[in-house]
C-alpha cells in the first residue's frame, strides 16, 4: 500500500519535529521516494557532538516512534560552528571612544559619521538601504564534513593446539591502532573456526571505544554455486536493542583468515559509526 500525500505529510512533519528535539540538532528535513520510503534524512546540528552519535539517535528515534528502519547512510549530518559575537564594550572603552569623538573646544560639533556640519553638507549622499545590516549575514557558519571511521583490517591470525585444548589469537588494526583478541576451547573437530571467530570479536571489542555486546550466533561453511563460502551471523546487543549482522567470505588457502574476513564483513559497515578507543586506551 502506497502512502497517500496527506498521510505522508502528517508523519513526516511530526518526525522532523521529533528529530529536531535531539540534543545538538538545529533543523531536519526528510525526503521520501515516490513509493513512500525514506530516501534521505538531512540534519543540521551544532558541532558539540560526534556526527555518528547524532545519526544513531535519529536512526533509533525513527525505529522506536514510527517503526521505520532507515539505513544509516541515508542520514546525513552537517555541522555548523556559530561565530562568536563581538565583545561588549566595557565602561572604560566606551569612555575613551566617546572622548575621541568629542570635538576640541571652539570647534563645531561633529555628526554621527565623525564630520562637522560643513563637511556633512559636502559629503555625497549615501543610500540608507546600503547601510542597513543584512540579517542573513548576522551569523557566520562553517560547514564541517563528516568523516567515516577507518575500516578494520586483519594483521594476523594463529591457532595453537594441545592434546585437549585449542587457543585462537587474532590481531586487528584501524587508523594506526592495534588490538588483539583471544579465545580458548576444547580441541574438537571444527572448533578452531568458532574460536577464530570468537577471538575476532574479542579483538574488535578491545579496539572500539564503547561496549558492543558482540556474540557469535552461527558460523557455517556452505556450498554456493561452484564453490564454498564462509557464512557468519553476529549479534550486537546494546541496551535493549539486539541487531543481527551477517558476513561472508570465500575460503582461500588460509581458512582461518577467511573466518576473520567474514566476521569483519559483518561488522565493518556498522562499526563506521563507532568511535575507536583513545590511542593510550590500553588495548591488548
pLDDT tens sequence across 61-104:
888 888 888 888 889 898 887 656 566 666 666 665 666 555 65
- Same-domain status, 136 and 170: no
Q: Is the pLDDT of residue 3 over 70?
A: no
Query: What dihedral do alpha carbons 53, 205, 222, 248 form, nearest 10°?
Result: 40
- pLDDT score recorded for residue 103: 60
Instruction: State how far the alpha carbon of 225 is from the alpha carbons of 72, 96, 181, 248, 261, in Å.
Output: 31, 86, 33, 14, 20
Q: Is the pLDDT of residue 221 over 80?
A: yes
- Three-class SS state of 78: strand
233 domain-assigned: yes
Q: Is the pLDDT of residue 34 over 90?
A: no
- Same-domain status, 159 and 99: no
Confidence of residue 171 (pLDDT cuts 50, 70, 90): very high
30 domain-assigned: yes
pLDDT above 90: percentage of residues in the chain: 23
- Same-domain status, 128 and 182: no
Q: What is the CATH number of the domain that holds 207?
A: 3.30.160.270
- Same-domain status, 255 and 163: yes
* C-alpha of 72 from chain center: 9
Q: Is the pLDDT of residue 218 over 80?
A: yes
Confidence of residue 125 (pLDDT cuts 50, 70, 90): low
Q: Is the pLDDT of residue 209 over 80?
A: no
- Higher-pLDDT residue of 126 and 246 is 246
- Same-domain status, 93 and 161: no
- pLDDT score recorded for residue 242: 79
- In the sheet that 25-32 helps form, which strands lie side by side, from edge to edge? 25-32, 38-46, 75-80, 143-144
Confidence of residue 227 (pLDDT cuts 50, 70, 90): confident
Distance CA 198, CA 209 (A): 19
| Across 179-207, average pLDDT | 90
278 domain-assigned: no
- Same-domain status, 105 and 238: no
Domain end residue (candidates: 114, 147, 180): 147
Domain end residue (candidates: 124, 147, 170): 147
Confidence of residue 198 (pLDDT cuts 50, 70, 90): very high
Q: What is the mean pLDDT of the chain?
A: 76
Confidence of residue 13 (pLDDT cuts 50, 70, 90): confident
Least confidently predicted of 18-32, 59-73, 137-151, 197-211? 137-151
- Higher-pLDDT residue of 125 and 203 is 203
Q: Is the pLDDT of residue 4 over 50?
A: no
Domain end residue (candidates: 100, 123, 147): 147
- pLDDT score recorded for residue 261: 93
| Across 173-187, average pLDDT | 87
Distance separating the N- and C-terminal Cα atoms of the chain = 52
Q: Is the pLDDT of residue 135 over 90?
A: no
284 domain-assigned: no
36 domain-assigned: yes
- Same-domain status, 68 and 107: yes
- Same-domain status, 21 and 74: yes
- pLDDT score recorded for residue 189: 84
**Structural domain span for residue 222:** 153-271
58 domain-assigned: yes
Domain count along the chain = 2
- Same-domain status, 125 and 168: no
- Same-domain status, 184 and 229: yes
- Same-domain status, 184 and 244: yes
195 domain-assigned: yes
- Higher-pLDDT residue of 192 and 280 is 192
- Three-class SS state of 222: strand
67 domain-assigned: yes
Instruction: State how far the alpha carbon of 119 is from the alpha carbons of 8, 107, 123, 133, 214, in Å.
Output: 64, 13, 6, 25, 79
- Same-domain status, 27 and 137: yes
- pLDDT score recorded for residue 184: 93
Amino acid at each position: 500500500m502506497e502512502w497517500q500525500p496527506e498521510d505522508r505529510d502528517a508523519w513526516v512533519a511530526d518526525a522532523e519535529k521529533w528529530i529536531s528535539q535531539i540534543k545538538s540538532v538545529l533543523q531536519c528535513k526528510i525526503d521520501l521516494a515516490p513509493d513512500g520510503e525514506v530516501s534521505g534524512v538531512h540534519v543540521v546540528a551544532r558541532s558539540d557532538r560526534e556526527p555518528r552519535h547524532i545519526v544513531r539517535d535519529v536512526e533509533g528515534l525513527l525505529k522506536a516512534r514510527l517503526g521505520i528502519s532507515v539505513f544509516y547512510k541515508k542520514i546525513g549530518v552537517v555541522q555548523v560552528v556559530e561565530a562568536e559575537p563581538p565583545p561588549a564594550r566595557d565602561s572604560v572603552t566606551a569612555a575613551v571612544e566617546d572622548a575621541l569623538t568629542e570635538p576640541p573646544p571652539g570647534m563645531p560639533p561633529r555628526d554621527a559619521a565623525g564630520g562637522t556640519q560643513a563637511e556633512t553638507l559636502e559629503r555625497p549622499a549615501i543610500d540608507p538601504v546600503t547601510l542597513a545590516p543584512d540579517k542573513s549575514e548576522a551569523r557566520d557558519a562553517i560547514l564541517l564534513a563528516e568523516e567515516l571511521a577507518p575500516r578494520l583490517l586483519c594483521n594476523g591470525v594463529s591457532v595453537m593446539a594441545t592434546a585437549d585444548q585449542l587457543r585462537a589469537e587474532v590481531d586487528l588494526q584501524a587508523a594506526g591502532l592495534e588490538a588483539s583478541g583471544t579465545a580458548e576451547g576444547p580441541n574438537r573437530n571444527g572448533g578452531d573456526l568458532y574460536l577464530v571467530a570468537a577471538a575476532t570479536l574479542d579483538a574488535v571489542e578491545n579496539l572500539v571505544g564503547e561496549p558492543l555486546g558482540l556474540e557469535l550466533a552461527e558460523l557455517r561453511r556452505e556450498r554456493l554455486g561452484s564453490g564454498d563460502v564462509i557464512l557468519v551471523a553476529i549479534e550486537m546487543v546494546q541496551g535493549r536493542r539486539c541487531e543481527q549482522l551477517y558476513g561472508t567470505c570465500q575460503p582461500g588457502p588460509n581458512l582461518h583468515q577467511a573466518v576473520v574476513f567474514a566476521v569483519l564483513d559483518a561488522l565493518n559497515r556498522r562499526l563506521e559509526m563507532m568511535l575507536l578507543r583513545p590511542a593510550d586506551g590500553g588495548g591488548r
